[in-house]
Structure 1
Amino acid sequence: MMVDGVVARLRELDGELAPGDGVAVFNGMYLAVTEEVRDRLAGGRFDDPAAVAELDVLFAGRYLAAVAADQAGRRPAACWRPLFTARRQPGVHPVQFALAGISAHVEHDLPLAVVDTCRSRRCPPQQLSADYHRINDVLADLEARVREQLMPGPDPLEAADPLTHLVGCWSLDRARDAAWASAQALWALHRLPPAYAALATALDESVGAVCRRLLTPLVRRRSGGGQDQGGQDQLECSGLPSA
């Protein structure tokens, strides 16, 4: 599959998934970033366009594998499981779905895709470093758009505050740094299959735990009496979705 093929598949999913589906929220954002990478590839913005294209396809393949597993009635990877489990969970806001998907994809899928690309091209991760960080610029633009478009605007501060706090606990900058560190650690172990598998499994499970926290439902409660008594709507944490 080429990058154009990835874009085509993401567009198909965009039409198949229901608008309120949490996976659809992430898919729409991911489609936008993949189109941006494709356009930058055509514009000569990377040192090694062929390597970036391969990385992009391998990267996308891990998300598409999670979609295929879910559609076939199988459990996706642990990092993706919270999003697919909570995709219709009441009390989870669109920005939470988007960031949980970005977290799973960047913190788990990206380092593994870097290693897969390095294996294919027989080069160390450092050789991809400059282009890796150029891709991160696209991801940074995506995060800014996610927060701007999906954070609730009209809600009063006291109602939105728990959501602001929850979303503010996750940082794409830290996620990108962690993904690069994970890629280097995985590469150091790629000739030691048992150690590599153990690290990859631990990464999958730890990222899944982060995503599960990002998807904490925030349910609306009345406080201070009923509406006639001047009560206010407030958001508070509900139970975590099960993995």
Structure 2
Amino acid sequence: MAQPEQRVTPAVPAGHSVDGVAARMRALRASWPATDGVAVFNNVYLTVTEEVGQRIEGRQFPDPRGATTLDVVFAERYLAAVDAVAAGHRPPACWRPLFQYRHHPGVRPLQFALAGINAHIGHDLALAVTDACRLLGCEPAALEGDFHRVGAILERLEERIREDLMPGPDLLEIVDPLTHLIGSWSLERARDAAWSAARILWSLRELPALAEEFTAGMDANAGLVGRYLLTPLH
């Protein structure tokens, strides 16, 4: 019997606290085994969230309120997917592959990390931009600088992830297919597509039926890419 799908529309926590969402991710880290594929992504995302929080506190974002709002509503979409699964509901299509394959022995940690990033960037990011615009009463252009600053942090982190999670020489038999698999996905291209999608969604805000159709297509596409990234290698 199919599980009911829960529409994920996260509420912004009081105070728009980056520390609050980071604390939630730390609690999840403590509750999941390190081998859990969702835990692998959670650890990556926690690192990003902590770095963004430090930069906001260090006044490296010209608009701390805008950066904080975008960061929090973005994180809440991932946390809402976690909550949906915990409650027995289906998360958005973009997240389903990661949750379905989270314990698969043939999927490498690097695949889990990139599949989570793909889901979050390929679907959640555009929606987070429009969420933030509504909360702040601004146009997407007002958040473009913060969008790219966070994106730069993600790109630097992705490089470290690829280096740290690539299998060692004892697993050479899967290095070549893994390199081919992860080489087919680009964070930079996904981020550019997310910004374009955010602008389209904002332009459709008075046309909810079209916006919902566009969002559903974006969700399905991210889910398809996620399944590809999680192809078991042995």
Q: CA deviation at 1:156?
A: 6.1
Q: CA deviation at 1:157?
A: 4.9
Matched letter for residue 227 of structure 2: R
- The question of 1:165 aligning with 2:180 is answered yes
- The question of 1:29 aligning with 2:44 is answered yes
Partner of residue 189 from structure 1, selected from 187, 198, 204? 204
Contiguous gaps of at least 5 residues in structure 1: 220-243
Structure showing the higher strand proportion among its residues: 1
Q: CA deviation at 1:153?
A: 2.3
Partner of 1:111: 126
Contiguous gaps of at least 5 residues in structure 2: 1-12
CA displacement 1:105-162 (0-9 Å, x = unmatched):
1111111000011111121111111111011111112211110110112146554101
Q: Percent identity?
A: 57
Q: 2:174–2:233: 8 Å Cα contact kept in structure 1?
A: no
Partner of residue 134 from structure 1, selected from 149, 170, 183? 149
Cα distance in 1 for partners of 2:49, 2:161 equals: 15
Partner of residue 114 from structure 2, selected from 99, 109, 112? 99
- Cα RMSD after superposing both structures: 1.0
Q: Who wins on radius of gyration, i.e. which is larger?
A: 1
Alignment of 1:60-75 (within 5 A): 60-75=75-90
Partner of residue 31 from structure 2, selected from 8, 11, 16? 16
Matched letter for residue 40 of structure 2: V
**Runs (4+) of structure 1 moved beyond 3 Å?**
155-159
The aligned length equals 219
TM-score by length of 1: 0.88
Q: Secondary structure at the match of 2:94?
A: coil
Q: Secondary structure at the match of 1:218?
A: coil
Q: Secondary structure at the match of 2:91?
A: coil
CA displacement 1:41-71 (0-9 Å, x = unmatched):
0011112110110111100001001100111
Matched letter for residue 187 of structure 1: W
Q: 2:22–2:49: 8 Å Cα contact kept in structure 1?
A: yes
